[in-house]
Amino acid sequence: METLLIANRGEIVSRIARTARTMGIRTVGVFSDPDSTSPAMADVDLAVRLAGVTAAETYLDQEAVIAAAIGAGADAIHPGFGFLAENAEFATRVIDGGFTWIGPQPESIALMGDKVRAREAAADAGVPILPAVPVDQAGTIGFPTILKAAAGGGGKGMRVVGSADALVAAIESARGEAERSFGDGTLYAERFIPAARHIEVQVFGDDHGNVVHLYERECSIQRRHQKIIEESPAPGIDAATRAQLCATAVGLAHHLGYQNAGTVEFIVGEAGFHFIEMNTRLQVEHPVTEELTGVDLVEWQLRVAVGEPLPLLQEQITVSGHAIEARLYAEDPSADWSPATGVVHRYRHGSAARYEDSIASGNEITPHYDPMIGKVIRCSPTRLEAARALAGELAAIELHGIATNRDMLVATLRSDPFLAGATTTSFLDDHPELLEARPDPAVAMTHLAAAIWARTRDNRAADQLWGFAPAGWRNVPSQWSDVRFDEHVVRYSVSRDSGADRGRVEFTYGDQPVVLARVHGEGPFAIEIDGMTRRCSVHRVGDDYWINSAEGQTRFAESPRFVAPDTVIAGGGPTAPIPGTVVDVLISVGDHVDDRTDLMVVEAMKMEHRIRPPGPAVVAEVLVSAGDQVEAGQLLVRLEEEEEA
């Protein structure tokens, strides 16, 4: 193997290229038009453009990817994860084209990719499975039940159904999502185990008949059936259960004659453990295992793909410490996990953890792909130390310009239930307060003082440079002034000592009494309130102030005093929450609707968004059709109030 094409995007490209470089292998990346400025392209030796915007036009286009490999002189292809990684047809085309395929055999991919056949294969290998039936017989196994896409993965086409009344709508929704995601709407129903653990085992096989496990990972903390925190060793799993899980996973891989990296996933509850699925690829969370074992899984993939035996036997694989990974997403947990798009105006992080990312200040999060920004991994001697260190590392990240799930991750890692190891698949449902997590009020008040100080400094500088008075400017800043941040009017006064780097800020915010803050420094500022001093950095983007300290980040949006007439949308109705594609329109003009009515479905960033009205209304006009591309804030439906009888 001399030249490796990595058929993916983002952080996994950088990750694979890093190992390939140490092995003396030349690397080739591919990029879509939105990814032309991705830092990942600087991590490969050659980058090839795939003309287009969407995944279907670029990373999922088998012809285009193989043509790029031929044009770049590649002799091997690594699919990463997602996109074509578990596409047996693509794997076959790669092999038939004379390339080395970095992954398992196409036969294994096809078998495990069909979830119905995978269950049968697992049962044949003696692996426990849960009762399952065709979706039209879901009621026979009782409720709650979970609908799954036969060709699915990543939480797509999955719906938990609590009663027979909700079954028909859930089937329709899951089938539509499965068809759009996998081109196959086949579903089956499986008994759902609430409050269970999701445990997976990393396995590896070669073509010499060797199969080993690299221990387990706990992946129970999820949203939309997608993992957001993974760790190893799994808390609350005793040695006997761990040994049985690992042996069962290895047994299944042996039964399949499996080669290369794979992950066998289990649901673990009071009744023992049962097979979920097998992922025939490198997992997103593979750094957890690497940190714990010291094994480079990508290096193993590359060596096994060219016929080498596994570098280590089972008894040579050991673990040390505890590793936790948190996935950082551009999304708002408090708004039903709505994905966020926009420019990342600043991205800075520390160096005390392992970062797997591919983003830089000035990059844009687009609606065309998954909203994951990157992963942060920390390995420490104990689980408590790893959780605390990872939370601190996440809190100190400067990520300005878009909403993220960072505060939720920090709050989760610091919460008593998590630290006690009470991590089940219902964890976030059981602790909804974590979704509303924000920095401590004392921290937020310190951040507000920093924003006010920076605002008055910036406004005075603008006046001196350009000769005009910005909104809220005062010739004597020590006089009390008003500014609106978000929904609150802030009354403040600022006084400076000799020089511009020292002074004080007094302000009120909401129902807070007057707060006095003393400020030192040109930036980062040292802000002292009630004898507590925090160092704060301020980054201003238009009317947004992003403030960071070691304890987290706060954003204050300065609202204009007057609303420009052309910003008011004439006619009421729901708007698109994010740029995306209308996949289904469910209402017509004249329909009577309420806040429980699905008006339409908009798909963006690999997620479905069901659009609902705020309350009772009548549909006056439907402004979009299925297949239309919509922008964030675009009016979708014009509604009228229902007339009183």
Q: What is the pLDDT of residues 565-621, one digit of tens each?
A: 443 344 567 888 778 889 889 999 999 998 888 899 888 776 777 888 888 899 999
Mean pLDDT value of segment 495-510? 83
Same domain, 338 and 414: yes
Q: Rounded CA gap, 135 and 304, in Å? A: 39
Which of 266, 267, 306, 263 is closest to 286 using CA atoms?
263
Q: How confident is the model at residue 644 (pLDDT cuts 50, 70, 90)?
A: low
Mean pLDDT, range 92-109, rounded to an integer: 98
Contacts of 195 (CB under 8 A, 6+ apart): 269, 424, 425, 426, 430
Looking at the fold, whether 487 and 369 belong to one and the same domain comes out as no
The number of domains in the chain is 5
Predicted local distance difference test score (pLDDT) of residue 498: 66
Average pLDDT over residues 443-463: 81
Report residue 469's pLDDT band, with 50, 70 and 90 as the boundaries: very low
**What's the mean per-residue pLDDT of the chain?**
90
- Could you tell me if 426 and 449 lie in one domain? no
d(CA 150, CA 448): 51
CATH code of the domain covering residue 320? 3.30.470.20
pLDDT of residue 465: 37
Which pLDDT value is given to residue 476? 52
Concatenated DSSP letters for 394-415? HHT-EEESS--SHHHHHHHHHS
Q: Which helix (H) or strand (E) holds 197?
A: strand 197-205
Let me know: does 333 contact 223? Beta carbons within 8 Å: yes
Let me know whether 136 and 157 are in one domain. Answer: yes
Weakest mean pLDDT among 28-32, 449-453, 479-483: 479-483
Q: How far is CA 37 from CA 9, 31, 399, 402, 498, in A?
A: 12, 9, 18, 18, 45
Condensed to tens digits (0 to 9), the pLDDT of residues 63-86 reads 999 999 999 999 999 999 999 999
CATH number of the domain that residue 176 is part of: 3.30.1490.20
Round to whole Å and give the CA distance between 229 and 498: 49
Q: Are residues 139 and 244 in the same domain?
A: no
Q: Are 503 and 519 in contact (CB under 8 A)?
A: yes
Place of tokens 């089972």: 314
- 120 located within any domain: no
**Domain contains 111:** no
Asked if residue 383 lies in contact with residue 235, where contact means CB atoms within 8 angstroms, the answer is yes
Q: What percent of the chain has pLDDT over 70?
A: 93
What domain range includes position 166?
A: 131-191
CB contact at 8 A, 310 and 30: no
Looking at residue 499, its pLDDT comes to 61
Say whether both 32 and 167 belong to one domain: no
122 within some domain: no
Question: Predicted confidence band at 462 (pLDDT cuts at 50, 70, 90)?
Answer: very low
User: Does 233 share its domain with 354?
Assistant: yes
Whether residue 268 is found in the same domain as residue 397: yes
289, 246 in Cβ contact below 8 A? Answer: no
Q: Which of 170, 191, 212 is the last residue of a domain?
A: 191
Least confident of 21-35, 318-332, 401-415, 586-600: 586-600
Stronger pLDDT, 319 or 630, i.e. the higher one:
319
pLDDT for res 150: 84
pLDDT at 489: 87
Residue 572 vs residue 265, higher pLDDT: 265
pLDDT of residue 112 exceeding 80: yes
Closest by alpha carbon to 641, among 622, 623, 614?
Answer: 614
Last residue of a domain, one of 436, 452, 477: 436
Residues 589 and 628 in one domain: yes
Domain-located, residue 121: no
**Final residue in a domain of this structure, among 171, 191, 211:** 191
Per-residue pLDDT at 42 exceeds 80: yes
Q: What is the mean pLDDT of residues 332-361?
A: 93
In a domain, 124, yes or no: no
The answer as to whether 610 is a domain residue is yes
Pair (549, 578) in one structural domain: no
What pLDDT band is residue 260 in, cutting at 50, 70 and 90? Answer: very high
CA 366 to chain centre: 13
Residue at 110 is within a domain: no
Same domain, 81 and 140: no
- Domain of residue 613, CATH code: 2.40.50.100
- Which pair of tokens denotes residue 639? 């509604």
- The answer on pLDDT for 562 being more than 80 is no
Look at residue 109 and tell me if it is in a domain: no
Q: Tell me: the pLDDT tens digits for 186-198?
A: 898 988 888 899 9
- Same domain for 223 and 332, yes or no, is yes
